[in-house]
Amino acid sequence: MALARALRIGWLAAAVLSAARIGAAQGADRQFHGLFGPAPNEQLRPQQLDVNWSLYGAQDDNSFLSNDTDVLDAPLQTDRVYTGAAIALAYTRRPPHKLLTVNASSAARYYPDLHQVVSTRYSGGLTYEVMPAERWVIQTAGTVSYSPYYQVVLGAATAESALDLPTPNADYAAARHNSMTYGSFVSARRIFNASSALTMSYGLRYLHLVGESQFADQRIGARYTRSLSKSFSLNLGYATSAVSAVAGPAQDTVRGSNVDLGIGFNRTLFSSSRTSLGFTTGTSTISTAAGSQFTVTGSARLARQLSRLWTAQLLYDRGVQVPEGTLRPFFSDTVAGNISGYINRRVMVRALPSYARGTVGVNADANPYHSFSNTARIEIALGRQMAMYAEHFYYRYAFASDRGLPQLLAASLNRKGARVGLTLWTPLVR
């Protein structure tokens, strides 16, 4: 009896898996696209100008901030209800052998019981890419942003270039302090053939904590890549960086050198295009007044196409960064997830959890920490140009002590909140 039941269950499971594979195969060549926003072919127009709007109501529960009014201003204390608005303008032009992108954004929060706007941000950027000759690609970029809050995100190493300068996000506010951030970047890429290329780059990011310190982060490097097979590539690269204080109290410069001498791997698994695995390897050496520390760096990504409507990713990163506003190296191991998909063409769901642990400082000066963040969102399209959404965010970090931390970075932070709002997409140039 038990054997017959087991056989029936096994047969039923096999039938379900077989049906799932058939359904996936039937839909594998069709890209699913939700109702809200531009269609895939509209995102490749020769010229486009889009405006994205957001209006929302929210509530924060700042258990850490409620105990220390000197860290953030009173309007951001526990259980404040507020409304917010954001607007982003994006212009793209694609003439032959060129690409121009210009973007600008602004956001504000209003607390009705205080009758004042207490949080705003502004940011803008320009990227220009050109092919001046066959097999050459030149790229330049400039960015600028303003935020009334000092923010820090602990975890994976930040991007090497100013092209990926993050948009200020008050969800990660650690202190009330006006700051300006500027970034510039230039790179030249020489493509030798279909399997090899050399990229040289220089980037500068400059942070001005208004009325206090100013920091400069410079990076220069070169990287050669060559495909050895469909799955393996050879990486030969070297980059050097220096983060220094250019105004304010005298502080020691943090210098780093990254050697990218290793193998890159990326291939599908289990004879299926629905699952892929990739990883890269490297090394990094950080030098401070307290000494030097060598570490092996790398990243790995496991991606799975669950169905035509759902995808999932698991990411791992081992690296080192010097967060803006600090002159201390942060070593970290980070595990992050990304699951997103559509319940139907109108309803989209996504979750972005991330956990990191590591140390700040080197040798005997090291201070352990851990960090966790998550954003979960459900979006319901009301049409191609309007959608409503509900979102929950959580951000927490804690250091073993406040030893060696910069003045604006508290030893712990615990924030969570929820938002409900509308997003609107307005194409001005079709």
As given in the structure block, the two tokens for residue 25 are 């195969």
Mean pLDDT, the chain, rounded, equals: 81
Residue 410 lies in a domain: no
CA distance 333 to 358: 6
What are the backbone angles phi and psi of residue 7, rounded to the nearest 5°? -65, -40
pLDDT tens digits, one per residue of 276-316 = 888 888 889 998 887 888 989 888 999 988 888 999 999 99
pLDDT band at 271 (very low <50, low <70, confident <90, very high): low
Tell me what pLDDT residue 189 has: 96
Strand residue runs (E) in 131-172: 136-151
Q: Please compute the mean of the pLDDT values over residues 345-372 and round it to a whole number.
A: 90
With respect to residue 2, please indicate whether it lies within any of the assigned structural domains: no
**Cα–chain center distance at 354:** 11
- Out of 83-97, 361-375, 397-411, give the one with best mean pLDDT: 83-97
Name the phi and psi angles at 42, rounded to 5.
-75, -20
**pLDDT value for 168:** 54
What pairing do the DSSP bridges indicate for beta strands 116-130 and 98-111?
antiparallel
C-alpha closest to that of 105 among 84, 133, 132: 84
Residue 422 in domain: no
Enter the tokens of residue 194. 């279909």
> Is-contact 161 141, C-beta < 8 A?
yes
Q: Show the domain range for 255.
A: 97-380+396-405
Q: What's the CATH number where 105 sits?
A: 2.40.160
Q: What is the pLDDT of residue 77?
A: 52
pLDDT of residue 234: 87
Return the DSSP state at 344.
S
Which of 72-76, 187-191, 319-323, 400-404 ranks highest by mean pLDDT?
A: 187-191
| Domain assignment of residue 256, yes or no | yes
Indicate whether 14 pLDDT > 80: no
- Running DSSP on this structure, what letter comes out for residue 74? G
Q: What is the pLDDT of residue 155?
A: 67
User: Max Cα separation, the chain?
Assistant: 80
Q: Enumerate residues 6+ apart whose C-beta is below 8 A from 380.
A: 346, 347, 387, 388, 389
Which pLDDT band, with edges at 50, 70 and 90, does 28 fall under?
A: very low
Q: Which two tokens stand for residue 382?
A: 């009301």
Q: What is the pLDDT of residues 102-151, one digit of tens each?
A: 999 999 888 777 777 776 789 999 999 999 988 999 999 999 999 887 77
- Domain annotation covers residue 176: yes
User: Closest by alpha carbon to 160, among 280, 292, 339?
Assistant: 280
pLDDT greater than 50 at residue 199: yes
pLDDT, tens digit, 9 for 90 and up, residues 378-406: 999 999 999 999 999 988 889 998 887 87
Contacts 24+ apart (CB under 8 A), 409-414: 409/150, 409/152, 409/174, 409/175, 409/325, 409/326, 410/64, 410/68, 410/71, 410/174, 410/175, 412/64, 413/64, 413/174, 414/62, 414/63, 414/64
Q: Is the pTM value of this prediction over 0.85?
A: no
Judge contact between 213 and 245, C-beta under 8 A. Answer: yes
For residue 288, what are the CA distances in angstroms to 90, 103, 206, 327, 329? 40, 37, 20, 9, 8
Backbone phi, then psi, for 124, in 5-degree steps? -160, 160
| Tally of structural domains, the chain | 1
Query: For residue 170, which amino acid is it?
Result: A
The pLDDT of residue 7 is 36
298 closest CA partner among 270, 321, 317: 317
- Residue 303 located in a structural domain: yes
Please indicate, yes or no, if residue 247 is contained in any of the structural domains: yes
250 within some domain: yes
Predicted confidence band of residue 91 (pLDDT cuts 50, 70, 90): very high
